[in-house]
Amino acid sequence: MKVLVLGSRIPYPMHDGGAKASYQLLQILNDLNHEVTFFSFNTKKHFASAQVLEDKFSFCRVITHYLDGSIKPYRAVRSLIAGKSYNLSRFNSAAANNQLKKLLEEETFDVVHFESLFTIPFLKVVQDNHKGPLLLRQHNAENKIWEKLAKSSRGLKKRYISALAKQLKKEEEISLPKFNAIIGISQEDTDYFKRFNKNASYISVAQEQHTPIQTIKPHALCHIGSMEWQPNVQAVEWFLDVIWDEILKRIPKAEFHIAGKSLDKMDPRFSKPNVINHGEVSDSNEFLRNNGVLVIPLQSASGVRMKALEAMSHGVPMVSTQIGVSGLAVEHGKEVWLGNTPEEMIQGIQLLFNGTKDALEMGKNGWNYVHQRFSVQALTQKWKALYSEISNQ
């Protein structure tokens, strides 16, 4: 089957959950013997060199279109006045649409796969030049994320973020019914998508299985996540402002290790006693295995939390808010300690902090959970069945 996958960025390096999910999808489609063409923006912020494309995407054909995509305040204001989503309009390029139109005129594809809501600006040109089924894989219920961010903001920022959320919701309501199938990566988001498209189904993201850790660094906590994603920034700021001082009062030798994409080692927002800022690390697996208990203090998010799955694949114990493990059927006290209030989070940290038997047991339970539910083999079979079904529509 000839499959055209549309992307809003090149998913490499895989320093965030979205990139890992998209790269894995391309690999799975290739492993299923589909002839894959990946048409994507190559953005200024996530620019991939020709050498990277040749080395890391040799298993499929890649066609790119350069896009600055930087946030421009005057364009944001213009979109706000026009009632359009600035989140999506940044990916609206007449030149890219013309390039895509030419490709669709020259070749016929069995399926066009839109990878995330940010490829929606391609929808009209695809509808006009492609007669086969359209599939959208949605990483998150985007408007839900921005709604939650708005609730925790104040003043003009709150009003602006609320407007962004409403605009995204409007775009989802208009666009989602136009696809033959919608794929969510969490059951919660999939249930939401079904309100707009009855052909919404759930396929999560597979995890590589690692050898579970045997020891946990004592008195150490860690957090890793892309700091290009506002919910992660908000989460770490909240943790430092609300919880960290109390942790240090109770355990003066405690350490909090943070890392993530685009994290500035000198960022004053994250400069507090015993906070070790690693910046952007080259190996997230090594970071997770060597820096104690993972903390996920997310206040707003949707989809499946990739870092939670990644940590569990190593047997790393976690303390998280409920939102931090959204999309995962984990049990409090078994695979994760759930702390939805500061005191509950502190209790979990104190319980697991010393790398005791309780912490190792929780880590092993998480490892078993990922092994049983998120293997590459199991999820590859789900994609195989979906593509077989959609090709017959």
pLDDT of residue 257: 98
pLDDT of residue 161: 80
pLDDT of residue 303: 54
CATH of domain 2-206+375-391: 3.40.50.2000
Query: Cis peptide before 13, with omega less than 30 degrees from 0?
Result: yes
pLDDT of residue 95: 96
Q: And the tokens for 48?
A: 């991939």
Q: And the tokens for 214?
A: 């045997």
User: How do residues 306-324 score in pLDDT, each as one tens digit?
Assistant: 889 999 999 999 999 998 8
Please list, in sequence order, all residues whose beta carbon lies within 8 angstroms of the beta carbon of residue 58, skipping any fewer than 6 positions away: none
How many of the other CB atoms lie within 10 Å of CB of 274?
17
Residue-by-residue DSSP string for 4-44 = EEEESS---S--SHHHHHHHHHHHHHHHTT-EEEEEEEEES
- Tokens 């490709």 belong to residue: 103
Contact at 8 Å (CB) between 181 and 98? Answer: no
CA distance 308 to 185: 14
pTM (global) more than 0.85: no
Out of 122-136, 151-165, 193-207, pick the least confident: 151-165
SS3 content of the chain, % helix, strand, coil (to 5): 50, 15, 35
Q: And the tokens for 23?
A: 């790269």
* β-strands 200-202, 181-184 pairing: parallel
User: How do residues 312-357 score in pLDDT, each as one tens digit?
Assistant: 999 999 999 998 898 788 999 999 999 989 999 999 999 898 777 8
Contact at 8 Å (CB) between 362 and 193? Answer: no
The three-state secondary structure class of 237 is: helix
pLDDT of residue 23: 95
User: How do residues 27-49 score in pLDDT, each as one tens digit?
Assistant: 999 999 999 999 999 999 889 99
pLDDT at 269 over 60: yes
CA distance 350 to 232: 23
| CATH topology (fold) of 220-373 | Rossmann fold (3.40.50)
Q: And the tokens for 139?
A: 């990483």
Please list, in sequence order, all residues whose beta carbon lies within 8 angstroms of the beta carbon of residue 81, skipping any fewer than 6 positions away: none
Task: State the Cα angle at 221 between 219 and 343, rounded to 5°.
Answer: 90
List the domain boundaries for the chain. Answer: 2-206+375-391, 220-373
The three-state secondary structure class of 66 is: strand
CA distance 324 to 339: 10
pLDDT at 166 over 80: yes
Q: And the tokens for 106?
A: 């020259």
pLDDT of residue 76: 63
CA distance 4 to 344: 47
Same fold, 2-206+375-391 and 220-373: yes
Nearest to 265 by CA among 278, 281, 255, 282: 278
DSSP state of 212: P
